Amino acid sequence: MASTDTTPKTDDLAGLEAGLDALDTVQIRRTPVREVLVKKVFPPVVAVVLVLGVWQLLVSLKVTDEYKLPAPSAVWDSLTTMWLEGTLLDVLWTSVSRALFGFLLALVIGTPLGLIVSRVKFVRAAIGPILAGLQSLPSVAWVAPAVLWLGLNDSMMYAVILLGAVPSIANGLVAGVDQVPPLFLRAGQTLGATGLKGAWHIVMPAALPGYLAGLKQGWAFSWRSLMAAEIIASSPDLGLGLGQLLENGRNNIDMAGIFLAIILILIVGIAIDLLIFSPLERAVLRRRGLLAKG
């Protein structure tokens, strides 16, 4: 029988609990800046320097004609020339603004589409497989019909971007929704989050990591699709973008210009991912404790 001296006093219990909490609490450590520099910044810098070194070495050894393999300095000269002419930023902005605007359009269309496909069984059965299959169709295939349908203008560019990016974004959201743990749905249901409330408070936030992965891929597809469109469909009315820069280089047999265009296309793709999508994704994962350490 419980005697009074074995009865826990509330103060004892509070103290005991505080002790347990202190012992069990996970210590969250922020990585110091130095460690970030050494572990995250240093390795890619080494890789780039190595590539440049090998490139310069090949040029110095004259393994091939100079018009086939320009020296790094020649590419640098092309860059500075464009900068001094004042065309560099224009060219970058033409392509980047097109890609970003196209991506935003794809976001506006792809998000509700993904929600409908993930929640309505009939729609999913009807267009789910097509949507998944569209991802493996190279968007360059859409350039020909887009030119014939819409003519050589910006709408045609946006059409190609949409056809490339919308399936990625929609599929990312579908995957995100599919991966929502059933426990969250049940917990939401007992709290009264059913129907639209359930979608808003539980399903959408729970699916956010998958959705962000879809957005990231959607951006990559937007950028690739646009470059394909710009390379194939060139017209004076379209303005000079990075794709046309590349195509002009080919027409003028200007290998330094071609290399410059390729490098710029690569840098923009990486920069947008590094500046927008990666931080967003990391912030979401970190807040949820899903970011693997190390």
Partner 1 sequence: MATTATLAKAEDRAAVTHAARIEHVSKSFGGPAGGQLVLDDISLDVAPGEFVTLLGASGCGKSTLLNLVAGLDRPSAGSIETPGGRPALMFQEHALFPWLTAGKNIELALRLRGVPKAGRREEAERLLELVRLGGSYGKRVHELSGGMRQRVALARALAQDSDLLLMDEPFAALDAITRDVLHDELTRIWRETKLSVLFVTHNVREAVRLAERVVLLSSRPGRIAHEWTIDIPQPRRIEDSAVAELSLEITEHLRGEIRRHGQH
Given the rule CB under 8 A, which residues bind partner 1?
1-2, 6-8, 10, 13-14, 16-18, 20-21, 24-26, 28, 183-184, 186-187, 189-193, 197, 201-202, 205-206, 208, 284, 287-290
Of residues 22 and 61, the one with the C-beta less far from partner 1? 22
**Minimum gap (Å) between residue 14 Cβ and partner 1:** 6
Cα separation, 38 vs 20, in Å, equals 37
**Minimum gap (Å) between residue 286 Cβ and partner 1:** 9
Of residues 16 and 275, the one with the C-beta less far from partner 1? 16
**Minimum gap (Å) between residue 282 Cβ and partner 1:** 15
Other beta carbons within 10 Å of 149: 11
Please tell me what DSSP assigns to residue 239. Answer: -
* Tokens 């990312």 belong to residue: 172
**Minimum gap (Å) between residue 287 Cβ and partner 1:** 6
* CB neighbour list of residue 172: distance below 8 Å, 6 or more residues apart: 114, 210, 211, 212, 213, 214, 215, 217, 218
Cα separation, 276 vs 84, in Å, equals 29
**Minimum gap (Å) between residue 203 Cβ and partner 1:** 11
Of residues 7 and 136, the one with the C-beta less far from partner 1? 7
**Minimum gap (Å) between residue 19 Cβ and partner 1:** 9
Cα separation, 157 vs 122, in Å, equals 32
DSSP track, 19-85: HHHHHHPPPP-PPPHHHHIIIIIHHHHHHHHHHHHHHHHHHHTT-S-TTTS--HHHHHHHHHHHHHH
Of residues 205 and 269, the one with the C-beta less far from partner 1? 205
Query: Structure tokens of 176?
Result: 């995100």
Of residues 128 and 205, the one with the C-beta less far from partner 1? 205
**CA atoms within 13 Å, Cβ hemisphere of 103:** 23
Query: Structure tokens of 286?
Result: 């970190």
Of residues 182 and 236, the one with the C-beta less far from partner 1? 182
